[in-house]
Structure formats: structure tokens, C-alpha cells
Amino acid sequence: MLAFPYAAEQGAGPKRVVFLHGFGSCHEIWHAVISALMPGVRALAYDLPGHGHSLRSQGTGGAKPAARTILADLAARRLDKVHLVGHSMGGAVATLMALADPGRIASLTLLAPGGFGPEINGPLLRRYAAAAEKIEIRACLAAMSGPQGLTPDHVVDVLFEMRGRPGQVQSLIDIAAAMTRDDRQGIIPREQLRALDMPVMVVWGAQDPVLPVDQAEGLPAHFHRHHVLDAGHMLVEEAPDLIAEIVRRNTRRRRMRRQPVFGTAAS
């Protein structure tokens, strides 16, 4: 029987922050970021459907079903106002959640999010999906990082352990094949993004080899942007303290006030 995706909960503060990892990863990669945000934050770090403890959960098959499933899980938990932080595939999921249920989302922090342009490094992601040994996992992570990026040993250990679960590698291979078909990814239209009125921060590594940094161009004017020099795609691992500070700042911003439309009221 399929269930809701797994989420690890930490902290008990009034501010609720939900973390969504990228493709092929798991909730444990947020450890350094979440630790830097404590205390005062209630953190909920999900394993995306098809990953880790959520291998057999509802919502497996892409960003849209994952977004619907995680929104349903938040509703079941009675969490009616959360700050979303998403990396890569998790960024696409977070964006779709905000579009589907904007009243539930207090802010949106997107780290090299999927769905902001058609280009995607399909061969590298498919290689990463099939990586089952530590040496190959580390090599893929290095290829996705910036020139100075060093993957922590504990991240490699966690991902190696995750891939040891029966069916996990095949699940990742299937997701990667669908996500990178014809070496293109699905796009979230810019006109839809303009409707988001919560604080939105988009962070991108200037040396991203997976999703080109120019996908951060042409975004709505009210989006904040931050380019991380010398960083690649693996921002959570490459710059956890910086990411924690960016999340802290964005969760303090206020929702954009809609301007009234004049000339429509009866005189």
C-alpha cells in the first residue's frame, strides 16, 4: 500500500521550514543547513517520492505528482503556513507546490531549481542515477560541483546506503529517463511564476554543469536572485552556511502586497 512520503522533523520553533532535496539525494543532505538555522525553526526534511524512505510512497513519477503528494501530507499534518526550500528537482517541486496552493507557502527559496529552462545535462544525471558504488557516486557529485567543490564523506556514505535499498537504483534510473527525455526537461512557464506573491529567492551556482545559470535570467522582477561564484550545482553540499543564511533572510521577508486596481469601483 502506498503511503505519504517520509519526512524527518527537527526543532520546535514557531517558524516552519520544509526542505526538498534534489534528484538522487535524500533528506539527510540538509543536516548542516538545518543545524545552522537552529534554534527557533521547526524543520521538516522530506525524502522525495521514489527516494530513500519514500521509495514506495505516493507521488513517484515526476515533480507534479510529488508536489501534490507533499501538499497533501502538509495538510494531513495541519501545517497551514510553511517556508519552502528546494534544490534542483526539489526546487521544481517547491515551485509547483507554491503555484498550486500559494496561501500555504510563506516563502520560497529555490536552489538551482528544475523547470526554469529546457536545458539539462541528461547524460550526467542518468550516470548519477545508475551510480551504486561509492567511487562512482563521488565521481558524479564531483562532476556536478564547482571546480573547488569537495563532497563531504558523510554525504557519499548516506547516498551509498540509500542506493543499497532494493529497487532504489532502478527507481532513480526510471525517474532520470523520464526527467531527461531527449536531454530536455519540462518548463514552468514564466507567466505562471509572475503570479507568485510570496518572497521568492533563486540561488544559482555560477559554474553549474547540470542546469545552466542563465536559466535564472528573465525571472519576474520581484524575485530575488543570488549567484554563488565558483559553485556548481550541488549548493547544499558546497556552501551550506551561505545557504542557511539565505534561507534565514528570505524567511524574514514579507509577502508582496497586491496593488489595487483603480477605476473599477462605482462612483
Q: Rounded to an integer, what is the distance from CA 94 to the centroid of its chain? A: 6
- Taking the domains of the chain in order of start, what are their residue ranges? 7-251
**Mapped to the 3 state alphabet, what secondary structure does the chain carry?**
CCCCCCEEEECCCCEEEEEECCCCCCHHHHHHHHHHHCCCEEEEEECCCCCHHHCCCCCCCCHHHHHHHHHHHHHHCCCCCEEEEEECHHHHHHHHHHHHCHHHEEEEEEECCCCCCCECCHHHHHHHHHCCCHHHHHHHHHHHCCCCCCCCHHHHHHHHHHHCCCCHHHHHHHHHHHHCHHHECCCCCHHHHCCCCCCEEEEEECCCCCCCHHHHCCCCCCCEEEEECCCCCCHHHHCHHHHHHHHHHHCCCCCCCCCCCCCCCCC
Rounded to whole angstroms, the Cα distance separating 91 from 175 reads 16
Q: Which residues contact 221 (CB under 8 A, 6 or more apart)?
A: none
Whether residue 46 contacts residue 17, with contact meaning beta carbons closer than 8 Å, is answered with no
7-251: CATH topology: Rossmann fold (3.40.50)
Q: Sorting pLDDT into bands at 50, 70 and 90, what band is 259?
A: very low
Peptide bond into 220 cis (omega under 30): no
Residue 128: name the closest of 181, 185, 173 by CA: 173
For residue 260, pLDDT beyond 60: no
- pLDDT attached to residue 1: 53
Is residue 7 over pLDDT 50? Answer: yes
C-alpha cell at 247: 534561507
Which amino acid, 16? R
pLDDT tens readout for residues 57-84: 999 889 999 999 999 999 999 998 999 9
Model confidence over 110-121: pLDDT tens digits? 999 999 999 999
Judge whether residue 145 has pLDDT over 50: yes
- Strand 105-111 and strand 200-205: the pairing is parallel
- Residue 19 dihedral angles phi and psi, to the nearest 5°: -115, 130
Cell of 54: 519514500
Over pLDDT 90: what percentage of the chain? 87
Q: How many CB atoms lie within 10 A of CB 100?
A: 13
* Whether the predicted pLDDT of 211 surpasses 70: yes
Residue 261 has pLDDT above 70, yes or no: no
Statement: residue 47 has pLDDT above 80:
yes
What pairs with residue 107 in β-bridges?
83
